[in-house]
Each structure stands twice: as structure tokens, then as C-alpha cells.
């Protein structure tokens, strides 16, 4: 084999290096790939699958989140899979909380080697039971429950929620509206718990009349923001549990003739692209979605290639960051 001859290794080593298999040194792997590139050699993935009796396909499943969140998930996973033998299959699936068994059957029948479970699939015990019974490998992105199951990549959403709420309270806001996300997502409960901690530490009571439920979408966020801003007296600030709903609240405020942050401060969550392109730019929490998806894919691939995770698996946390921008200021006099 020409690649083996140029690289000075055996054909078996060439195969292992090009397939990113373990137990090949980085120096040898680099030498083999440089030789393959010089010869313009590209391994046939279909043939590899037949020989190995594996598909080299990894599924990514998520449910109706913001478009920016989905793009970050996909880009993170794809950046890890780039130039490797694995390929990504994207599997959007709505209402998983009411039909986890259907998602489980879909994943098992799709011919996948493993799956990345984004919220809320990552927190469905019935789904995890189905996958565990079949020894189907999976990695969970930001789960909140059953943290002794599967590969876990997370962020402390309670701490993140506490920090962004504390920011508004420190500015002097006391009448704060809260737009919750989809109640079937554990992240919504975690962020709300963080808000409660911040209010408690500040000695401020949450007004339950100013807590409304959205579903992480712009349209519902706009509608519930209009409802909040119609209260008398209206809130001086709004905490939205993702950026799409926060941007919708900015639009609702403008339609009512209010200025942001002069009349109303608004903070979001995620640091999605829309938080940087809206005006004023949105104060938000940076959730490192891309990095978490990369890490989840990396650890899943390692497991598929024979590396062993600790039992129970180690939860790997990624740090959040509060990004204070122009959408928040002290309340009006």
C-alpha cells in the first residue's frame, strides 16, 4: 500500500491511524495522514462500515430550542467529527417528555453507533432505560437528573441563574418580571432556582404575579412580555430564560413606547447570536454550548473506540460567564 510505504509503517497501522483508533501515537498518526494527503488518498467510509460492522454515525437529538442554540450544538459536534471517520445525523424530536419510548426506538433503529442527547432528552429516565437495556452508548449535554448515568457534560445553571438575577438586583431593581422557559426542560427549573437564591440573598421577595411561562420561542416570549408590561405597576426589569424570549421582550417594550434600558432593563440567557445583533445588545449568560457539544462528542467517540469512562462517569462542568451589555441599567427614578 502506497500510504504505508511512504509513511514507513504497516498497512494495519495506516488503517488504525486513518480511523483515529486508539493506541497509535500522534507522531505516527500525523505521518500517515500527511502521506495520505500527499497521495490524495481518501478511505471509503462505506467500506470501513462493512468491515467493522459499524455505521460510524453519531446521532444528535434536540427539541424545539432557539435556532442559535441548535447551530451551536451542531457546530460543536461537527468540529469534533471533522476529518474523522464519524459522521453526524441530526434528529430533531418534539414532545419527547410525553413519548420518550418513541425517541428510544428511533435511535435504536437509525443504525447509529451512539447518540448525543441534548435537553430535554438528556433528562428522560424512560429513554435512558431503553438505551441502557440495549447497551446503546450516549452522552448527555446539561442533564439535571440521574447524574450517575452515561457520559455527562454540564454547566451549573443554578449558579448562572443566580448571577444574572443578582446583577439586576444589584442595579436596584425590585419589581422584576420573569419569563420561564418550557417547563418540560429541567434547565428552566434550574435557572429559576438560581433566581430564587439571588432574591433570597438580597432579601427581596419574588412576586409570583410577575412570573409567566414561555417556551423558549420568540413568538410566545413576545406575547407573555406584552402581558407582563401591561401590569400596573409594570416591572422595571425582565429576566428571560433564553435570548430569543429576551429579544422578544425588547420588541414588546418598543411597541409599547418604552425604551431599553431607560424604562425597562432586560437580561437573557445563552449568549446566542441574536443577543449580539439586537439593539441594544443584550445582557446575558454565556452558556458554552459549542464547547459542551464538542466535549460530549469527544468523550462519546473515545468510548466507542474502546476508552473506558469511570463508573459512575465523571460529570465534566463547563464554566458560564455573565456578559453585561447595554440592555440593563439602574431602574428609572
Mean pLDDT of 311-330: 91
26 plus 58 within the same structural domain: no
Q: Which pLDDT value is given to residue 241?
A: 97
19 confidence band (pLDDT: 50, 70, 90): low
65 plus 80 within the same structural domain: yes
pLDDT tens digit string along 75-107?
Answer: 999 999 998 899 999 999 999 999 999 999 999
283 plus 166 within the same structural domain: yes
170 plus 261 within the same structural domain: yes
Q: Which pLDDT value is given to residue 117?
A: 98
* Residues whose CB is less than 8 angstroms from the CB of residue 217 and which lie 6 or more positions away in sequence, other chains included: 64, 66, 244, 245
21 plus 98 within the same structural domain: no
Q: Which pLDDT value is given to residue 280?
A: 98
Percent of residues, the chain, with pLDDT higher than 90 = 76
pLDDT tens digit string along 186-227?
Answer: 999 999 999 999 999 999 999 999 999 998 999 999 999 999
237 plus 303 within the same structural domain: no
Give the distance, in angstroms, between the CA of residue 319 and the centroid of all CA atoms in the same chain. 13
Residue 272, domain member (yes or no): yes
60 plus 163 within the same structural domain: no
296 plus 151 within the same structural domain: yes
Mean pLDDT of 56-71: 88
Residue 23, domain member (yes or no): yes
101 plus 207 within the same structural domain: no
pLDDT reading at 164 higher than 70: yes
Q: Which pLDDT value is given to residue 10?
A: 79
Q: Which pLDDT value is given to residue 21?
A: 65
Cα distances (Å, whole numbers) of residue 77 to 86, 96, 128, 148, 194: 11, 21, 21, 23, 28
Residue 261, domain member (yes or no): yes
97: its cell numbers: 417528555
Residue 37, domain member (yes or no): yes
* CATH number for the domain harbouring residue 29: 1.10.260.40
pLDDT reading at 323 higher than 80: yes
Q: Which pLDDT value is given to residue 83?
A: 85
pLDDT reading at 157 higher than 80: yes
What is the pTM (predicted TM-score) of this model? 0.81
163 plus 283 within the same structural domain: yes
* CATH number for the domain harbouring residue 281: 3.40.50.2300
276 plus 166 within the same structural domain: yes
45 confidence band (pLDDT: 50, 70, 90): very low
pLDDT reading at 325 higher than 70: yes
Residue 268 lies in domain: 157-287
121 plus 227 within the same structural domain: no
Residue 326, domain member (yes or no): no
Residue 242, domain member (yes or no): yes
Count of domains in the chain? Answer: 3
Residue 325, domain member (yes or no): no
* Contact of 121 with 63, CB cutoff 8 Å: yes
pLDDT tens digit string along 246-297?
Answer: 999 999 999 999 999 999 999 999 999 999 999 999 999 999 999 999 999 9
Q: Which pLDDT value is given to residue 285?
A: 98
Residue 333, domain member (yes or no): no
- Nearest CA to 239 out of 274, 192, 309 is that of 192
Amino acid at each position: 500500500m502506497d500510504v504505508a510505504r511512504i509513511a514507513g509503517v504497516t498497512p494495519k497501522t495506516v488503517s488504525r491511524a486513518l480511523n483515529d483508533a486508539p493506541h497509535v501515537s500522534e507522531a505516527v498518526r500525523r505521518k500517515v495522514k500527511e502521506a495520505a494527503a500527499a497521495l490524495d488518498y481518501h478511505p471509503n467510509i462505506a467500506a470501513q462500515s462493512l468491515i467493522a460492522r459499524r455505521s460510524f454515525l453519531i446521532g444528535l437529538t434536540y427539541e424545539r430550542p432557539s435556532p442559535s442554540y441548535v447551530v451551536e450544538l451542531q457546530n460543536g459536534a461537527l468540529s469534533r467529527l471533522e476529518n474523522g471517520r464519524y459522521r453526524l445525523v441530526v434528529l430533531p424530536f418534539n414532545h419527547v417528555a410525553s413519548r420518550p419510548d418513541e425517541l428510544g426506538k428511533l435511535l435504536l433503529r437509525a443504525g447509529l453507533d451512539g447518540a448525543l442527547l441534548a435537553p430535554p432528552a438528556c433528562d428522560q429516565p424512560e429513554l435512558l432505560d431503553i438505551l441502557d437495556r440495549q447497551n446503546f452508548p450516549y452522552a448527555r449535554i446539561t442533564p439535571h437528573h440521574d447524574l450517575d448515568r452515561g457520559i455527562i457534560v454540564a454547566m451549573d445553571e443554578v449558579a448562572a441563574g443566580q448571577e444574572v438575577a443578582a446583577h439586576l438586583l444589584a442595579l436596584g431593581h425590585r419589581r422584576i418580571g420573569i419569563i420561564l422557559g418550557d417547563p418540560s426542560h429541567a434547565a428552566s427549573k434550574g435557572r429559576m432556582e438560581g433566581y430564587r437564591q439571588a432574591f433570597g440573598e438580597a432579601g427581596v421577595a419574588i412576586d409570583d404575579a410577575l412570573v409567566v411561562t414561555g417556551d423558549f420561542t420568540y413568538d410566545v416570549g413576545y406575547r407573555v412580555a406584552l402581558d407582563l408590561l401591561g401590569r400596573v405597576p409594570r416591572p422595571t426589569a425582565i429576566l428571560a430564560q433564553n435570548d430569543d424570549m429576551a429579544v422578544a421582550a425588547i420588541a414588546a417594550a418598543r411597541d409599547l413606547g418604552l425604551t431599553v434600558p431607560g424604562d425597562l432593563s432586560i437580561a437573557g440567557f445563552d449568549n446566542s447570536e441574536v443577543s449580539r445583533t439586537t439593539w441594544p445588545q443584550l445582557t446575558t449568560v454565556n452558556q458554552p454550548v459549542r464547547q459542551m457539544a464538542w466535549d460530549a462528542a469527544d468523550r462519546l467517540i473515545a468510548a466507542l473506540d474502546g476508552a473506558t469512562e469511570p463508573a459512575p462517569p465523571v460529570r465534566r462542568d463547563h464554566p458560564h460567564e455573565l456578559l453585561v451589555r447595554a440592555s440593563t441599567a439602574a431602574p428609572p427614578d
